[in-house]
A and B are shown apart, each in its own frame.
With several copies, the nearest count.
Chain A
Amino acid sequence: MLKVSNLSVSYSDVRVVDQLNLTLGEDEILMLIGPTGCGKTTVLRALAGLIPIQTGEISLSDWTASPQKHIAPEKRRVGMVFQDFALFPHLTVEQNVCFRLKDTTRADHWINLLGLEALRDAKPGRLSGGQKQRVALARTLAHAPSLVLLDEPLSNLDAALKDSLRWDIRHALKMAKVPAIWVTHDQDEALSVGDRIGILDKGQISQIDTPEQCFDKPQNRFVAHFLGEASFLPGQFSGENALTELGAAPIRQQPELTQGDVLFRPDDLSLHAVAEDGNGRIEWQRFEGESRLYAVTLDSGRLVKVRASHENAIAIGDRVAVNIATTHPLAVFG
Chain B
Amino acid sequence: MRTWPKSYPLAFLIALLALLPVFVLMQLASDSAEIFDSRNLTVLGNTLALMGLTVVGAVMIGVPLAFFTAYVHMPLRRLWLILLAAPLAMPSYVGAFTLYFSFGRGGEIEQWLGIPTPPVSGLWGTALVMALYTYPFVMMTTRAALLSQDASLINASRTLGLSLGASIRRIVMPRLWNSVAAGALLAALYALSDFGTPAILGLDTFTRVIFVEYNAFGLSQAAMLSLQLMVIVILVLYLESRVKATPEQPGRHLLFWPTKVQRWLMQLAALPPFLLAIVLPLVIFVTWLLREGSGGFEWAYAWNSAYASFLAAMVAVVLALPVAHAALRGQAGRLMERITYFGFGVPGIVMGTALVYLGLKLPFLYQTLALLVIAYVLRFLPLAVGSVRTATENLDGGLVNAARVLGASPREAFMRVTLPLTLRGMVAGAALVFLEAMRELPATLMLGPTGFETLATYLWRVYEAGYFGHAALPGIMLVVISGFGLILMLSGERRTEFSI
Contact = CB atoms under 8 A, between A and B. Distances in A.
A236 to B, nearest CB: 53
Interface stretch (B125-133, B368-376, B492-500): B492-500
B306 to A, nearest CB: 29
A72 B409 CA distance: 8
B159 A84 contact: no
Given A48-B401, A73-B404, 12 more contacts: A45-B401, A50-B155, A72-B410, A74-B167, A74-B406, A76-B159, A79-B405, A86-B399, A88-B153, A89-B251, A123-B500, A125-B248
B408 interface: yes
Interface string B181-220: 0000000000000000000000000000000000000000
Contacts of B153: 86, 88-89
A125 B252 contact: yes
A143 B161 CA distance: 9
B84 to A, nearest CB: 26
A99 B152 contact: no
A118 B86 CA distance: 44
Query: Could you say which of A49, A69, A125 has the most chain B C-beta atoms within 10 Å of its C-beta?
Result: A125
A99 B403 contact: yes
A123 B420 CA distance: 14
Interface string B320-358: 000000000000000000000000000000000000000
A77 interface: yes
30 contacts: A45-B155, A48-B401, A49-B404, A50-B155, A50-B401, A68-B1, A72-B163, A72-B164, A73-B155, A74-B160, A74-B413, A78-B159, A78-B405, A79-B405, A79-B406, A82-B155, A87-B156, A88-B399, A88-B417, A89-B247, A89-B248, A89-B421, A90-B421, A99-B160, A99-B406, A100-B408, A123-B498, A124-B498, A125-B247, A143-B160
B162 interface: yes
A125 B406 contact: no
B171 interface: yes
B156 A86 contact: yes
Interface string B235-259: 0000000000111111111000000
Interface of A: 11, 45, 48-50, 52, 67-70, 72-74, 76-80, 82, 84, 86-91, 99-100, 123-126, 139-140, 143, 145, 149
Given A52-B1, A89-B246, A77 B404 contact: no
Contacts of B416: 99
Given A90-B498, A100-B407, A126-B500, A74 B158 contact: yes
Contact of A82 (B174, B398, B417, B498): B398
A210 to B, nearest CB: 29
Contacts of B439: none
Contact of B398 (A73, A76, A84): A84
B224 to A, nearest CB: 43
A90 B155 contact: no
Contacts of B152: 82, 84, 86
B402 interface: yes
B175 interface: yes
Contacts of B32: none
Nearest to B152: A86
B398 A74 contact: no
Contacts of A50: 155, 158-159, 401, 404-405
B407 A143 contact: yes
Interface size class of B (residues with CB under 8 A): 35 or more
A125 B500 contact: yes
A73 B405 contact: yes
Contacts of A143: 160-161, 406-407
A200 B404 CA distance: 26
- Interface majority SS on A: helix, strand, loop or mixed? loop
A76 B409 CA distance: 11
A88 B398 CA distance: 10
Given A74-B404, A88-B417, A90-B174, A125 B161 contact: no
- List the 6 closest A-B pairs by CB distance, nearest first: A86-B402, A73-B158, A86-B156, A73-B404, A70-B1, A80-B159
Contacts of A90: 174-175, 245-246, 420-421, 496, 498
A80 B405 contact: yes
B157 interface: yes
A7 to B, nearest CB: 15
Interface in B373-413: 396, 398-399, 401-410, 412-413
B160 A100 contact: yes
B161 A74 contact: yes
Contacts of B396: 125
A86 B155 contact: yes
B406 A100 contact: yes
A86 B407 contact: no
A73 B161 CA distance: 7
A87 B398 CA distance: 9
Contacts of B409: 72, 74
B169 to A, nearest CB: 13
A317 to B, nearest CB: 39
B159 A48 contact: yes
A72 B407 CA distance: 9
Given A52-B1, A69-B1, A125 B499 contact: yes
Contacts of A11: 500
A45 B158 CA distance: 12
B278 to A, nearest CB: 34
Nearest to B245: A90
Contacts of A125: 246-248, 251-253, 396, 498-500
Contacts of A70: 1
A91 B406 CA distance: 15
A82 B402 contact: yes
A212 B391 CA distance: 51
B160 A89 contact: no
Contacts of B498: 89-90, 123-125
A88 B404 contact: no
A149 B160 CA distance: 12
B403 to A, nearest CB: 7
A11 B421 CA distance: 25
Contacts of A77: 161, 407
Contacts of B253: 125
Contacts of B1: 52, 67-70
Nearest to B405: A80
Contacts of A72: 158, 163-164, 404, 409-410
A50 B155 CA distance: 7
A79 B155 CA distance: 11
Given A50-B405, A88-B402, A123 B163 contact: no
A66 B204 CA distance: 62
Contact of A89 (B161, B164, B249, B403): B249
B390 to A, nearest CB: 15
Nearest to A123: B498
A49 B160 CA distance: 12
A89 B155 contact: no
A198 to B, nearest CB: 21
A13 to B, nearest CB: 13
Contacts of A140: 159-160, 405-406
B171 A88 contact: yes
A86 B403 CA distance: 9
A76 B406 CA distance: 10
B201 to A, nearest CB: 39
B248 A73 contact: no
